[in-house]
Structure 1
Amino acid sequence: MISTIRKLFESKLGAIIAIIFVAIIGLAFALSDVSGSLSPAGVGGGTAAKVGSVEISEAELNEAVNTAFSQVQRENPGLTMAAFVQQGGLDDVFASLVDRVTVSAYAQKHGMAVSKAMVDAEIRDIPAFKGLDGSFDQQTFLGALRQNNLTEAQFREDIRRSLYLEQLLSLSDAGTKAARNMALPYASLILEERKGQLGVIPSQAFVPKNDPSDQVLNTFYKANRARFTVPERRAIRYAVFDAASMAGKVQVSDAEIAKYYRDNQTQYAASEERTISQLIVPTEAAAQAVAKRAAGGESLSAIADDIGVAVSQAEGVTKSGYASQTSDGVAQAAFSTAIGKVASPARGNLGWYVVRPDSNRSIAAKPLASVSAAIRETLTTQRTREMLDEQTGEIEDQLAKGATVAEIAKAVGAKVETTPPLLQAGGSPGNPDFKLPEALAPIRAAAFQMDAGGDPQLIQLGDDQRFAIIGIAKVDAAAPPPLADVKQDVINAWKRSEASKAARALAAKVRDSVNKSTSLKQALAANDAPIEQIQPISGTRQQLTQNQDQVPPPLQLLFSMTQGSTKLLPLPQEQGFYVVHLDELIRNSAKDNAPLLEATSQQLSRALSQEFSAGFVAAMREELGVKRNQSVIDRLRARLLGNDS
C-alpha cells in the first residue's frame, strides 16, 4: 500500500502536494497531514483528544486544519476558513487525525515495528528525491522539505505512520475479492434495458392572453420578490496613476551615463559569440566515454543516437550567456576549445556536458557615444520605478492617516472617476451601456472585498507600474426594485407561471388517466392535450452510467420508475412538462460477459475493502479508547470562525 505514496509523487500533481499529503491512503479514508505547513500562531496548548495514552494537541489539530484548508482552497480560491469550518472541515479533519493516530498507536501496542531502515528505503524510492543520475540525492530531499516548511523529523514520522497503515490495513484486504456469483446480479443490472413513451405538454399553449389586474400582479410580486431581487451594487470612486505620471520628474545627467558605462564595461567590451553543439548525460563516466568516442572520430550525432539521447544547439551565445544556461565550467570549456573540436566534459545544471563549438563571430566594442541613448533610457526607467515605489509607499502612509481618493489623486496628478453602481460580476443594471475596461477589472474585484464604509485602498493593476486608489462612493444593498421599474418583467413572469400551472394540471390529468390503464395516446387525446406526437424512448443502464452528463432527463427518469407507471418531469424555465411512461423493463444476464463481470467484481472488491478497513479502524478506536476535549475543540472552532474575541 505504500506504493500509493510513490504513485502520488510520480503524478502530475507533483512532489509538493505529495509531500504535504504523503500519508493519504484512499483505501480506507482520507487522512489529513498532521505535520502541516503553517505555524499554530495564537493556538492554546490544550489537548484536543486522547487516543489511548497518545495526546492530540490543539496545535496539532490546528496545523492539520490549516493544511487541509490550504489544499481545498487551491481548488476553490474564494473559500474562506470560516466557510470551510461551517461546511464541516474541522470535524472531518479531527476525525481523520484521530483515525491516523489510532492506527499508529494500535500498531505499536501490538508489537509492530517500523525501523529506520524501512523508512530510509521508502524515502529512497520516491522519484522526487532522486538526482540527475537516478539515485537518491540528500540535497534534493532536504530542498523539497524546505520548500514545504517541513522538517526531516516530521516527514519521517509521516512515512513511519504510513508504513503502520500498510501493515495493518493490508490485513483488511484479505478475502475481499468479490465472487462471480456476488458480482453477477450487479453486472446484470447494468445491462438492464428499458423502453417507454414520451410526450411533452408545452406551457406556451396556455399563456394567458390578458394581463393580470394590479391586485393580482402585486400579490404575485410580493410572493416572488426573490426572483426579481437585484444583487448588491457598488459605485466605485477611483484614480489611476502609473509611470507616465513621473514624466519630467526624472533627470539623468551625462556624468551618470558615463559612470554606468564604466560600471558595466564588460557589457560593451569586445566579445565573441559562438554556436555550440551539446550532448548531456547524467554521469561523468558516461561523459568521458562520449568524449573518447568523439576523439576517435565519431560524430556527436551518431554517438547520441547510439546511447539514446539528443544533440541540441545553443546558437549565437556569449560566454556569460552560455554560463547562465549551463555553468561556468561548461562555458569555459566551450569557449576555450578550438572551433570544430570537442571540449573536455564539464558538469552543468542538467548533468555532464560534452560540447563542440561549431562557429564563432567577433563583436566589436561599443563606444560610449553609440550606447548613451540606451543607457539614458535604462537609467530613466530604473529611476522612474524607484520613484514610483517611493510614491506608493507615501500613498499608503497617507491612506493610513485618513486621506481621501480625491486628495491622493490631486497629489499624484491623476483624475478621479466614479462608476455607476456595478454588480460584483460586472455590468450596471441602471446603466447597461456602461462597461468598465478589462484592464480595470481589479478595481471592481477589490471594491467588493472592501468594507462598505472602509478607508480607500491602493491596489496594483496588472503590472508593477500601474496603480489605482479606490474607494466606495455608494452601496445599493441587494433588494427587489420597485414594481413600477420591472412591471413588464413581472407580467411576463406571471404569465409564464400561470401557463406552467395549467400545463402541469393537464399533465397530471394525463398521468392519472394512464395510471388507470389508459394508453398514453388515448389519455392525451381524451384531454385534448396540445401535443403533436408521442416519441419512443429507450436505453440501457450501462448507457446511463457511462454518459451521465449527456443522458436526457426523461431517460434518466425512466430508470427510476416501475414498469407500467407514468411520471411527470418539468422542463427548464417553466417551458412545460414531460409525461414519461415506462412500457417495458428487459432484464439481461451478464453471465457470459466476462469483461463486465470482472470490472464489476473489482468495483465490489474495492467497496468491500473500504468497508472492512473502516470497520477495522473503528475496532481499533474501541480497543484503545478515544476521549475528546470538546471545550478545546470549541475554542479552536471559535478562533477559526473569527469569534474568539
Structure 2
Amino acid sequence: MITWFRNLTQTWFAKVLFLLLVLSFGIWGIEDTVRNFWRETAVVRMAGGDIEVPEAQMAARRELQRVQSQLGTGFEAEEPLRRAIAMQAVEQLIAERALRAEAARLELVTPDEAVQAYVFAIPNFQTAGQFDRLMLDQFLRQNDMSEAQFLQIVRDDLRRIQLTGAVRAGAAVPEALARAMVRYEKEQRIAQLVELPLLDAPEPEPPTEAQLARFHANNPERFSTPALREATIAVLTGETLADQIEVTDADLASAYEARRGQFETAERRDLQQALLPTEDAARQVAEAWRTAADFAAVEQAAQAAGGAALALGNVARADLPIEALAAAAFTAPEGGVTPPVQSPFGWHVMRVAGITPGRTASLEEVHDRLRQELALERAADLAFERANRVEDALAGGATLEAAAREFGLTVARVTLDAEGRDAEGLPAVLPVPVAARAEALRAIFAAELGRAPRLQEMREAEGFLGIELHEARAPALKPLEQVQADVRLAWVNDAKRRAQEERAAALLGAVRGGQTLEAAAAAAGLASTRMGPFGRQPEPGAPGLTVPREILPQLFAIPVNEPTMVPTAAGFAVAQLLEIVRADPAADAQALENARRTAQQQVAEDLNAAYLAALRSRAEPRISPTLLQQVVP
C-alpha cells in the first residue's frame, strides 16, 4: 500500500492535487487580500492620479462644514443636498488632479521659497502684520488637515495660478463691446408718472350680507384653518433619565482617576519668537538675545536679517505642533533663549518670557461636574436599553402613550400645524430639545395614519423620538360668523384695489387714445409727476427719483410716448415715457474703463471655464456611482 502511494505521488494527477491544496491553504491565510484583489477602491479613476474613497470623504466633510458655517448652526443638510455636496467635492478633486497632470506635462515647478512666501502673505495667518504660526495651526485643526496636506494644496494652487493666469491673460474685449455696455448702463429715461395707492381709493359702499357670504365662499384660502395634525409624542433622552441614575462616591473616585487628564491644566509658557531664513542669522539673533532681553532690538535684528519676530503669547505645549519647537520651548528655563530650531518655515529662536505652572483640580473641585457627567453617560446607555424595551412593547401592540409612561419617557399629546402653531395660532409646546424642534415637526407631518408607531433617533439631539398620529385635519373654511370682521376688511380692500385698477386702466386707455398722461390725469382729477432723468437702477432715496421699482423695467422696454401700467406694493402706477437720454461713452472715460474691465473679467472667466473643462475631458475621469455613495457626508 505504501509503495502504491509513493508511486501515486509521482503522477501528474497527484502533483496537480497537491498544488491545489497548497494554493487553497495559502489563499485561506490571505483571505482579505484575495477577496479585495479585484475590488474597486477608487471613487474616480483618471489620468493624473486616482481619487480614493478616504480622500473624497474628507473633502466632502470639509465642504459640508464650509456650507454649514456659512448658513449657521441651525442649518440641517438634507440627503439631496449632501449628495450634491459630495459630488461637488469630487469634482473639485478631479479639477485639481487634471491641473496637476497638466502642470506635470508642462514641467511646471513651484519652489519651496514661493510656497513659504505665499503662506506668510495670507492675511488670516498674520498678527500685527507678521506671520503667526498659531493662526496657521488653528486653521489646520479646524479643517482637519495636516501641514503637509495644506502645503500641497498651496503648491497646487500656485501651479493653478500659473496655468490659469496664462489663459486668462489672453482675454481681450473689443472697444465696440465696451461702448455698447456703457450706453446700456448709462442710458436714462424721463417719464410722466401717476401713482394710485389703495389708501387714496374712495371708500366703497358697505357690503351686503350676501356679498360678504359670496366673498367668503370664493376665497377659502384666506379664511381657512391650516392643516393640523393631532399626535402623541414620546421623547427619550439621557437628560430625562439622568435623575434616575445613582452615582456613588466610589464611582466618582474611580472616574476621577481614569479621567485625571481632563482635570489637569497644562503648563503654559509666554513665548517670544524670531523666525529667520538661515541658521547663521538665527544663531546671531539667539546670542544677542541671551545677552540683552530687549524684544524691540530683537525685532529690528530679525527684520534686518530678512526674518521677523513676534510674541506668541501664553501657549501650551500642544499649541506647538512641531515637536522640535515644543521640546525646545518647554525645556528652556524662564528667561532662557532656545538654540535655533529648523522647520519648513525657516529657523526659529524662542525666549521663555514667563511660565505658568500646570495644576490638577482635586476631586472636591470637580465633584458636581463629574457626577453630572457620569449620570448623563449612564443615562445614555439606559436610554438605549429603554428604547429597545419600548420597541418591544410597541411591537406587542401597546400604544405609544402607554409604553412611554411605563418606561419613563416624556410624553405629550399635541395638535399643531406645520409651523408648530396650535389651533389658536400660538406656538405649541413640544417635549423635545430646542435643537430638535424642526426635526420633530417634519417627523409629525411625515407620519402616516394607521401606521404602528416606532422610535427613531433624533439627528439634531441625542435621544429618541416616537410619534403616533391620531388625526390629520385638512384645511377647513372657518364659519362666516367667526371671521366676519376679517372678511369685511378683505372685501373693502379688494373693492379699493378694483377701483384703483379701473382708474389706472382708464388712464392707460386715454393715453393710447392720443392724450398725454398729464392731460388725462388732470381730467380725472389725479396728480401726475414728471420724473427723471433716471437710470435703470436709481439710487434709493434720491430726491425727485422715487420711481416705483415695479415700473422701471417697463419704462426701459417701451418706445417714447408709449404708456404702461403695473400693480405695485401700494396699489397701481401708470407712466408714459417722454424721452430717452442717450449716453456718450466718449464723455465718460471712467465708465468706459470700468465696462472694459468688467467685460474682460467675464471673458477671462469664460476662457478659464473652457480651459478647465478641456483639461477635465483630457483626463477622462471615470466616477464609480457605487463608491460615490460612500462619499456622501
Deviation at 1:577, TM superposition (A): 0.7
Quick one: distance in 2 between partners of 1:123 and 1:355? 29
How far apart are the structure 2 equivalents of 1:73 and 1:563? Answer: 48
Q: Is the 8 A contact 1:278 1:312 kept in 2?
A: yes
Q: State the SS of the aligned residue for 1:309.
A: strand
For 1:385, the equivalent position in structure 2 comes to: 376
Residue in 2 that maps onto 1:605: 600
Map 1:181-192 → 2, pairs under 5 A? 181-192=176-187
In structure 2, the residue corresponding to 1:498 is in which secondary structure?
Answer: helix
Aligned-partner Cα distance in 2 for 1:616–1:221:
61
Q: How does 1:283-322 map to 2 (within 5 A)?
A: 285=279, 288-304=283-299, 307=302, 308-311=308-311, 313-314=313-314, 322=316
Deviates more, 1:552-561 or 1:65-74: 65-74
Preserved contact between residue 212 and residue 487 of structure 2 (Cα < 8 Å): yes
Indicate if the aligned counterparts of 1:217 and 1:490 stay in contact, CA closer than 8 A: yes
Distance in 2, matches of 1:620 and 1:329, equals 46
Q: Distance in 2 between matches of 1:505 and 1:637?
A: 60
Compared with structure 1, are the counterparts of its residues 479 and 375 closer, same or farther at alpha carbon in structure 2 (3 Å cutoff)? closer
TM-score w.r.t. length of structure 1? 0.62
Taking the aligned partners of 1:523 and 1:379, their CA distance within structure 2 comes to 83
- Give per-residue Cα distances to partners, 1:200-231, cap 9 Å, x unaligned: 223342453322544x5555455543445554
Give the drift of 1:279: 0.7
Report the 3-state secondary structure (helix = DSSP H, G, I; strand = E; otherwise coil) of the residue aligned with 1:177.
coil
CA drift at 1:589: 0.7
Within 5 Å, which residues of 2 pair with 1:51-66? none
Report how far residue 563 of structure 1 moved.
1.9
Q: Distance in 2 between matches of 1:455 and 1:490?
A: 43
Gaps of 5+ in 1: 1-43, 135-139, 315-320, 641-645
Q: How far 1:396 moved relative to its partner? A: 3.1
Residues in 1 aligned to 2:488 and 2:258: alpha-carbon distance in whole angstroms: 77
**Distance in 2 separating the partners of 1:79 and 1:266:** 36
How far off is 1:378 after superposition? Answer: 4.8
Give me the whole-angstrom Cα distance separating, in 2, the residues matched to 1:343 and 1:168.
Answer: 46
- With over 3 angstroms needed to count, the CA separation of the structure-2 counterparts of 1:259 and 1:523, relative to structure 1, is closer
- The corresponding residue for 1:579 is 574
What value does the CA root-mean-square deviation take over the aligned residues? 6.5
Gaps of 5+ in 2: 1-38, 132-136, 303-307
Alignment partner of 1:514 is 2:504: no
Distance 1:292 1:124, change over 3 A: closer
Q: Pairwise mapping of residues 190-209 of structure 1 onto structure 2 (< 5 A)?
A: 190-204=185-199, 205-209=201-205
The whole-number CA distance in structure 2 between the counterparts of 1:498 and 1:231 is 26
- Matched with 1:280 is 273
One-letter amino acid of the counterpart of residue 529, structure 2:
Q
Q: Which residue of 2 aligns with 1:527?
A: 524
Deviation at 1:509, TM superposition (A): 0.6
Give the superposition deviation at 1:343.
3.7
Q: Deviations over 1:245-291 (max 9, x none)?
A: 544742423x666667878999999x9x9995421234694654443
Partner of 1:29: none
Q: Return the match for 2:174 from 173, 179, 193.
A: 179
Residue 555 of structure 2 is aligned to residue 561 of structure 1: no
My pick for the range that moved more, 380-389 or 470-479, is: 470-479
Q: Please list, as runs of the form range in 1=range in 2, the aligned pairs for 1:206-605 lying within 5 A after superposition.
A: 206-214=202-210, 216-217=211-212, 219-221=214-216, 223-228=218-223, 230-235=225-230, 237-239=233-235, 243=239, 245-247=241-243, 249-253=245-249, 277-282=270-275, 285=279, 288-304=283-299, 307=302, 308-311=308-311, 313-314=313-314, 322-326=316-320, 329-330=327-328, 332-334=330-332, 336-337=333-334, 341-345=335-339, 353-357=350-354, 373-374=364-365, 376-401=367-392, 402=394, 404-412=400-408, 416-419=411-414, 421-432=415-426, 434=427, 436=429, 440-450=433-443, 451-453=446-448, 454-457=453-456, 459=458, 469-474=465-470, 476-477=472-473, 479-484=475-480, 485-528=482-525, 531=526, 533-541=527-535, 543-544=537-538, 552-553=548-549, 554-572=551-569, 575-605=570-600
Rate the CA distance shift 1:305–1:620 in 2: closer, same or farther, 3 A: closer
Residues 146-161 of structure 1: matches in 2 within 5 Å? Answer: none
Post-superposition CA distance 1:4-63 (Å, at most 9, x none):
xxxxxxxxxxxxxxxxxxxxxxxxxxxxxxxxxxxxxxxx99xxxx99x99x99x9xx99
The amino acid across from 2:327 in the alignment is G
- Contact preservation (8 Å) 1:291, 1:344: yes
Find the aligned partners of 2:112 and 2:203 in 1 and give their Cα distance: 71
- What do residues 593-635 of structure 1 show as CA deviations (whole Å, max 9, x unaligned)? 22211111223334455667788999999x99x9x9xxx99x9
With normalisation by structure 2, the TM-score equals 0.63
Q: Contact between 1:190 and 1:540, CA under 8 Å: does it hold in 2?
A: no
In structure 2, what residue type is equivalent to 1:393? F
Q: Does the 8 A contact of 2:272 with 2:311 survive in 1?
A: yes
1:275–1:313 Cα contact (<8 Å) kept: no
Q: Is the 8 A contact 1:274 1:357 kept in 2?
A: no
Q: CA deviation at 1:424?
A: 3.4
CA contact (8 A) 1:198 1:581 kept: yes
Contact 2:447/2:469 (8 A) holds in 1: no
Do the aligned partners of 1:280 and 1:352 also contact (CA within 8 Å) in 2? yes
* CA contact 1:232–1:423 (8 Å) conserved in 2: yes
CA contact (8 A) 2:336 2:352 kept: yes
Alpha-carbon offset, residue 500 of structure 1: 1.3
C-alpha displacement of 1:473:
4.8
C-alpha distance in 1, partners of 2:503/2:297? 81
Question: Secondary structure, in 3 states, of the residue corresponding to 2:592?
Answer: helix
Structure 2 distance, partners of 1:636, 1:259, is: 45
User: What secondary structure is seen at the aligned counterpart in 2 of 1:333?
Assistant: coil
Change (3 A) 1:124 1:235: farther
| Change in CA separation of 1:221 and 1:356 when aligned onto 2, cut-off 3 Å | same
Question: CA shift at 1:410, angstroms?
Answer: 4.2
**One-letter amino acid of the structure 1 residue matched with residue 248 of structure 2:** V
Distance 1:477 1:400, change over 3 A: same
One-letter identity of the residue aligned with 2:377: E
TM alignment of 1:27-106, pairs within 5 A = 74=68, 77=75, 80=78, 82=80
What is the alpha-carbon distance in structure 2 between the residues aligned to residue 577 and residue 639 of structure 1?
Answer: 55
Take 1:504 and 1:606, find their aligned partners in 2: how far apart are those partners?
45
Partners of 1:278 and 1:617 in 2: CA distance: 46
SS of the equivalent of 1:430 reads: coil
Q: Assess if the C-alpha contact under 8 Å between 1:424 and 1:448 holds in 2.
A: yes
Q: Measure how far apart 1:488 and its partner are.
A: 3.6
**What secondary structure is seen at the aligned counterpart in 1 of 2:421?**
coil
Aligned partner of 1:27 in structure 2 is: none
The 1:71/1:609 distance shift into structure 2, 3 A limit, reads: farther
